[in-house]
Structure 1
Amino acid sequence: MILVDWQIMDRISRGQIKVEPFEPGLIQPNSLDIRLGDHFVWYVPGDRVIDPYDKESVTAEVEEMTADEVILYPGQFMLAETKEVLSLPDNIVASIEGKSSIARLGIELHQTGGWIDAGFIGSITLEMCNVNQRPVKMYAGMPIGQLVFYTTERAEQPYNLKQDAKYQGQRQATLSRYHENQRLIQ
């Protein structure tokens, strides 16, 4: 079941869902708006291959900055953080969706990583891309996306109890940690 406005407010006020900082005005009929943080990371253009199993190649040739605004150029991919830090209980999951007004500027908010497991605690790393023909300026603190919350049965092993929870407690835009997975031999 998708939580509606009063249910979202109820879960937050009772501490089941934690959002820091929380602004009640960001609650929508079926979601909670989230804002762009001020930390950004991107790969320097080049031909060097990124191997998901090789930490050095994943973390090489990246740039990052903390800023109040950023320009996303056509075709550019950038990781960004949400201003909000989220904490979910073991029976609520969330998905992150873009805001229509931002999508109409050509900004994709997440590529495929739009699911937030029960038990997750941390800021959310956004996987942004500009598919417009023109650069788009974005500002820290602007509503950029929305979280849709779903109630589920209680997870037996929520994200915060998983031994391999690579992104638990993350703050700031976080590069892929796929290299922490065990490579399966075929």
Structure 2
Amino acid sequence: MILTGPAIAAAIQAGDISIDPYDPARISPNAYDWQLGDTLRICDGHLDAAAPTTFTEQHIPKQGFVLQPGLLYLGHTFERTGSERYAQFLNGDRTTGALGIWVHVSAPLGHQGHAIRWTLEIRVARPVRVYPRMTFGKLAFLHPQGVPASYQLQPAKYASSDGIDISRLYEELTVPSGATP
């Protein structure tokens, strides 16, 4: 079950959802309108699941930064969000999609107990200028069924994440010697 805007506001008041910084004007009928943070990581060269991703870091100035097609950008949400009671679902929205921006397509689920600034996967169809703290998507809260299991209590790779994080899949992989990208 998805929470309505008034239910999200009530859960924030009750301390069951944390959004920092929180702006009540960003509540929509079934979500919270989150903002893009001020830093991007631009992934360099070939990506290899068995090796850490190399990147260059770019601050997004007030006058904006132009994203280019064919590149993978990792960004972050301006807000830090979390809940021990609710799961979170983060996605882009129509306003960014209409600009040809695909954001956070592959990993939209935030587990109960995971309080984070989300790492965002960002791709664009055409060059597009983005700005820090622009509305970039929607965050919905879901009421899970069953016995709750906090993400912070699990042996999870990203439990201590707080901002832009590269893939850590390489921690799980063993690559045969002589393998090439």
TM-score exceeds 0.5: yes
In the aligned structure 1, how far is the partner of 2:175 from the partner of 2:115?
28
Partner of residue 168, structure 2? 177
Change (3 A) 1:156 1:93: closer
Change (3 A) 1:169 1:74: same
In the aligned structure 2, how far is the partner of 1:154 from the partner of 1:3?
17
User: Is the contact made by 2:43 and 2:71 (CA closer than 8 Å) also made in structure 1?
Assistant: no
Partner of residue 166, structure 1? 157
Change (3 A) 1:101 1:181: same
Cα distance, 1:183 vs structure 2: 4.9
* RMSD of equivalent CA atoms: 1.9
Change (3 A) 1:40 1:148: same
Cα distance, 1:181 vs structure 2: 2.5
User: Is the contact made by 1:36 and 1:80 (CA closer than 8 Å) also made in structure 2?
Assistant: yes
- Does structure 1 residue 87 correspond to structure 2 residue 82? yes
Cα distance, 1:52 vs structure 2: 1.6
User: Is the contact made by 1:35 and 1:145 (CA closer than 8 Å) also made in structure 2?
Assistant: yes
Q: Which amino acid aligns with 2:131?
A: Y
- Does structure 1 residue 63 correspond to structure 2 residue 53? no
Partner of residue 107, structure 2? 113
What count of residue pairs does the alignment treat as equivalent?
174
In the aligned structure 2, how far is the partner of 1:156 from the partner of 1:16?
14
Change (3 A) 1:155 1:52: farther
CA deviation string 1:130-151 (max 9, x = no partner): 023xx10101111100011110
Partner of residue 179, structure 2? none
In the aligned structure 2, how far is the partner of 1:92 from the partner of 1:5?
14
Cα distance, 1:76 vs structure 2: 2.4
Partner of residue 137, structure 2? 145
Partner of residue 15, structure 1? 15
**Unaligned 5+ runs, structure 1:** none
Structure 1 length normalisation: TM-score? 0.86
In the aligned structure 2, how far is the partner of 1:4 from the partner of 1:183?
44
Change (3 A) 1:156 1:8: closer
Structure 2 length normalisation: TM-score? 0.88
Instruction: Using the aligned pairs only, state the percent identity.
Output: 28
Q: 1:78 aligns with which of 48, 52, 73?
A: 73
